[in-house]
């Protein structure tokens, strides 16, 4: 039972014995023991008190899932620092060109822009192609695609900087099915110096595919999950559980939802092991 396991987990995490927790709640130690064995349930008042004493939300205490705040912007960068750095890198040769050859400076600026956008570990498209999970549906970019071309990779950061981002909204009640899929590479990156997210042109496609009741297809990128210690990596299991509770068919042929529960191995590592048949 999730609640019983969570009481044990967070009690120990906070360095409390059953006796100490019982004393704080002004109840008997036997009551705590029965909760942790799943023989009894805390009252609403005790649940609220437990949430405060163990320093977690009620959602996380009861379900084991982190609290999901709405709207949740999946993939949206927390700051504009990366965008500012990109602008500085591009503008430096252009400004220098006013002293020398302006056309040569423009060419150099364009080459630098292409190199940074395509090969720098940070995905500058995130300023443009992030999507938002809301209480009644999902908001996404109007020109979303399953796979973006090299040209799209170059143009999307510029569109974001120029505030040209346009969105559409799809309510959960209009969704027919949701499918999660991670497209593995032809080779296993464990045998190379490459790891997901090292280069923007080389990481695995990871998407949610939404089919609406009128047969429209919407693709939502899950690539920000690859960034370690990110809010996307932390919250993806909770987001998937939230979507599975909607009255929508959920397809997970690779058993990704279950694999995400293993914190010792990355999702991609597990999928390559399953595909290639080794550990």
pLDDT in tens, the chain (279 residues): 578 988 998 899 899 999 999 999 999 999 999 999 988 999 999 998 998 888 887 877 887 777 788 899 999 998 888 888 888 877 777 666 655 677 777 788 888 888 888 887 788 889 999 999 999 999 999 998 888 888 888 899 989 988 999 999 999 999 999 999 999 988 777 665 555 445 555 578 999 999 999 999 999 999 999 988 899 998 999 899 899 988 899 999 999 999 998 777 889 889 998 988 865
Top CATH class of 2-63 equals mainly alpha
Residue 155 to residues 113, 120, 124, 146, Cα–Cα distance (Å): 11, 16, 10, 16
CA angle at 178 for the pair 175 and 182, rounded to the nearest 5°: 155
Residue found by looking up tokens 């130690």 in the block? 29
Please tell me the predicted confidence (pLDDT) of residue 219. Answer: 96
Dihedral sign for Cα atoms in the order 125, 128, 130, 131:
negative
Give the distance, in angstroms, between the CA of residue 136 and the centroid of all CA atoms in the same chain. 19
What residues does each domain of the chain span? Answer: 2-63, 130-150+163-276
- Are 172 and 244 in contact by the 8 Å Cβ rule? The answer is no
Please tell me the predicted confidence (pLDDT) of residue 100. Answer: 63
User: Which of these, 131, 121, 155, lies nearest to 71 by C-alpha position?
Assistant: 131
Spell out the residues 6+ positions from residue 164 whose beta carbon is closer than 8 angstroms to its own.
Answer: none
Please tell me the predicted confidence (pLDDT) of residue 146. Answer: 83
Measured CA to CA, the distance from residue 267 to residue 257 in angstroms comes to 10
Q: End-to-end CA distance of the chain, in Å? A: 30
Please tell me the predicted confidence (pLDDT) of residue 97. Answer: 61
- Are 41 and 69 in contact by the 8 Å Cβ rule? The answer is no
């Amino acid at each position: 039972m999730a609640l019983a396991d969570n009481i044990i987990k967070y009690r120990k995490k906070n360095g409390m014995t059953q006796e100490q927790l019982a004393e704080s709640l002004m109840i008997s130690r036997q009551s705590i023991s029965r909760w942790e064995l799943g023989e009894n349930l805390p009252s609403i008042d005790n649940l609220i008190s437990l949430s405060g004493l163990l320093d977690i939300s009620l959602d996380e205490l009861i379900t084991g899932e982190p609290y999901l705040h709405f709207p949740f912007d999946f993939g949206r960068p927390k700051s504009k620092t990366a965008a500012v750095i990109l602008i500085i890198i591009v503008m430096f040769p252009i400004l220098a060109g006013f002293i020398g050859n302006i056309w040569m400076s423009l060419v150099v600026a364009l080459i630098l822009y292409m190199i940074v956008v395509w090969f720098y570990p940070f995905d500058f498209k995130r300023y443009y192609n992030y999507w938002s999970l809301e209480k009644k549906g999902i908001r996404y970019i109007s020109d979303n695609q399953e796979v973006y071309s090299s040209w799209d990779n170059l143009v999307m950061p510029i569109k974001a900087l120029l505030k040209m981002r346009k969105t559409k909204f799809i309510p959960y009640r209009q969704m027919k099915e949701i499918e999660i899929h991670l497209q593995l590479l032809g080779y296993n990156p464990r045998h190379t110096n490459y790891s997901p997210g090292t280069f923007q042109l080389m990481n695995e496609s990871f998407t949610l595919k939404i089919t609406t009741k009128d047969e429209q297809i919407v693709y939502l990128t899950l690539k920000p999950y690859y960034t370690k210690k990110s809010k996307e990596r932390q919250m993806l299991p909770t987001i998937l559980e939230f979507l599975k509770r909607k009255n929508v068919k959920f397809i997970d042929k690779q058993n990704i939802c279950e694999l995400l529960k293993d914190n010792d191995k990355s999702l991609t590592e597990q999928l390559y092991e399953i595909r290639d048949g080794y550990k």
